[in-house]
Amino acid sequence: MKVISYNVNGIRAALKKGFIDWLKAANPDVLCLQEIKAQEDQLDLSVFEEAGYSYNYWYSAQKKGYSGVAILCKEKPNNIVFGTGIESMDFEGRNLRVDFDTVSIMSLYLPSGTNSARLEFKFKFMDEFQEYVTELRKEVPNLIICGDYNICHEEIDIHNPKMKGVSGFLPEERVWLDTFINTGFIDSFRFFNKEPDHYSWWSYRANARNNNKGWRIDYHLVTETLKDRLERAYILPEAKHSDHCPIVVELKK
């Protein structure tokens, strides 16, 4: 079972850059998207269906052209859950989950802390999300939370570890992510790869991507209950439809 997560930074823009051809070649069983920046009625869903994803689910922000997540599936899920039921986070369309027989997969887009107000919102979101997932796992023990967490976990995950005053690498953010993982999750990429210089996001400034001056802020966090099913986890930096790139986890079915 191949699961890909990809912050596309606007699905309509990505479609103009060959996204569908890439999707057909990558051929995941499940694709989790973040930052779709579109309402469902603004999309021609037939292009996804023709690519083999008849089951596609879209959870947009109330604000047009902003945020939003989606999940594309080859097989029909048993259950689809839009949002978390927490009003303070759901209006921005940041969480969508599909449940299969032996695993549930979530597409998460955690806020960035671009200014003091958004940073406060981000910390509130993180606290509420942790409570939500703790309760959820009592009913859904086999969970993969895919997505853009907007946090580098450790120094190895950022090209310049001295950037300690920037949101995405603040000590408080890193502590939160560390605590969240330690509640019973596996960072699937680091489970297989301990090497530096692997990133999933690059600034558009200063030729950062060509120089690989990036951040690893996208994750497949997999519950420890799925540890024996993990086969591979890797990053696809050659896919260039966004300032992020896709990340992949493969599990035994």
Calpha distance 226→154 (Å, rounded):
23
For residue 70, give the nearest of 18, 44, 108, 112 by alpha carbon: 108
Calpha distance 60→43 (Å, rounded):
12
**Own/partner long-range contacts of 51-54 (Cβ < 8 Å, ≥24 apart):** 51/20, 51/23, 51/24, 52/24, 52/27, 53/23
In the prediction, which pLDDT does 88 show?
86
pLDDT digits (tens, 9 = 90+) for 64-81: 999 999 999 999 999 999
Q: And the tokens for 167?
A: 């949101």
Of the pLDDT bands very low, low, confident and very high (cuts 50, 70, 90), residue 129 is very high
Superfamily (CATH H level) for 2-251:
Endonuclease/exonuclease/phosphatase (3.60.10.10)
Calpha distance 57→131 (Å, rounded):
25
Q: Are 183 and 217 in contact (CB under 8 A)?
A: no
Calpha distance 101→81 (Å, rounded):
15
In the prediction, which pLDDT does 184 show?
98
pLDDT digits (tens, 9 = 90+) for 163-183: 888 999 999 999 999 999 999
- Mean pLDDT computed over 229-236: 98
* pLDDT more than 90, % of the chain: 96
Calpha distance 103→90 (Å, rounded):
23
- Half-sphere exposure of 235 toward its Cβ, with a 13 Å CA cutoff? 25
- Mean pLDDT computed over 113-135: 95
Q: And the tokens for 106?
A: 């979530």
In the prediction, which pLDDT does 231 show?
98
Residues 82, 153, 195, CA angle at the centre, nearest 5°?
Answer: 115
Catalytic (active-site) positions: 148
- Mean pLDDT computed over 120-149: 97
In the prediction, which pLDDT does 15 show?
98
* pLDDT more than 70, % of the chain: 100
pLDDT digits (tens, 9 = 90+) for 194-230: 999 999 999 999 999 999 999 999 999 999 999 999 9
For residue 139, report the phi and psi dihedrals to the nearest 5 degrees.
Answer: -105, -25
pLDDT digits (tens, 9 = 90+) for 29-73: 999 999 999 999 999 999 999 999 999 999 999 999 999 999 999
In the prediction, which pLDDT does 164 show?
80
Of the pLDDT bands very low, low, confident and very high (cuts 50, 70, 90), residue 114 is confident
Sign of CA dihedral 157, 165, 172, 88: negative
Q: Are 117 and 125 in contact (CB under 8 A)?
A: no
